Amino acid sequence: MKLNDLMKNLSVVGRWIATTLFCVSAIAFVWQGAFFSNTSAMADTTANLTILANAGDKVQNKANEDAGRAKNFIRDTADKVERTAKKNASKVEQATDDNGSFVERKAKKDAARIERRAEEDSARTQKAVDNTKNAVERTVDNIKDAFSK
């Protein structure tokens, strides 16, 4: 697996995160519109707040679950990239009869660089997943707070 493949996979994860954030925002706007357009629903605020709290908790739980899955996928992808880099360096070493040639040194150096970049990219993407999950949770909390006042 090449670095380009890792970047494509990370791009897919990024699009998934953006879509999730968009859907949660859309749900928030729908909730807001539904509560303000139906005045009879505002008569019993306790029921509405309970429903809102339950729905918000479900959204937050789903965001946590999906973030965990995304982070596992990112970690697995980085591990596969690292294994492939080591495997390729080993093949070069075997092909050159372990004689310390320029090609062998270059392959080892490239493998180390690929492994380092995979770790850096993985950490950066996992941090972005955490930031998105936290933004979703804050949004849900803000919506709950707005309706509880």
What residues does each domain of the chain span? Answer: 3-148
**What pLDDT shows up at residue 94?**
78
Q: Do 10 and 121 meet the contact criterion of CB atoms below 8 Å apart?
A: yes
How far apart, in whole angstroms, are the C-alpha atoms of residue 73 and residue 68? 9
Determine the pLDDT at residue 59.
Answer: 80
Instruction: Please state, in angstroms and rounded to a whole number, the distance separating the CA atoms of residues 137 and 130.
Output: 10
- How many Cβ atoms from other residues are within 10 Å of residue 141's Cβ? 12
Q: What's the confidence (pLDDT) of residue 69?
A: 86
User: What pLDDT does 34 receive?
Assistant: 55
Note the pLDDT of residue 52. 64
Angle at 90 between CA 115 and CA 83, to 5 degrees: 35
Pairwise CA distance, residues 64 & 55, whole Å: 14
Q: What is the Rg, in whole angstroms, of the alpha carbon atoms belonging to the chain?
A: 24
First to last CA, the chain: 53
pLDDT in tens, the chain (149 residues): 566 776 777 777 777 887 887 777 777 776 666 555 555 545 555 655 666 667 777 888 888 888 888 888 888 888 888 888 888 888 887 777 767 788 888 888 888 888 888 889 888 988 888 888 888 888 888 877 776 66
**Cβ contact 104:92 at 8 Å:** yes
- Structural contact between residues 24 and 140, judged by C-beta atoms closer than 8 angstroms: yes
Q: Tell me the longest C-alpha to C-alpha distance in the chain.
A: 83
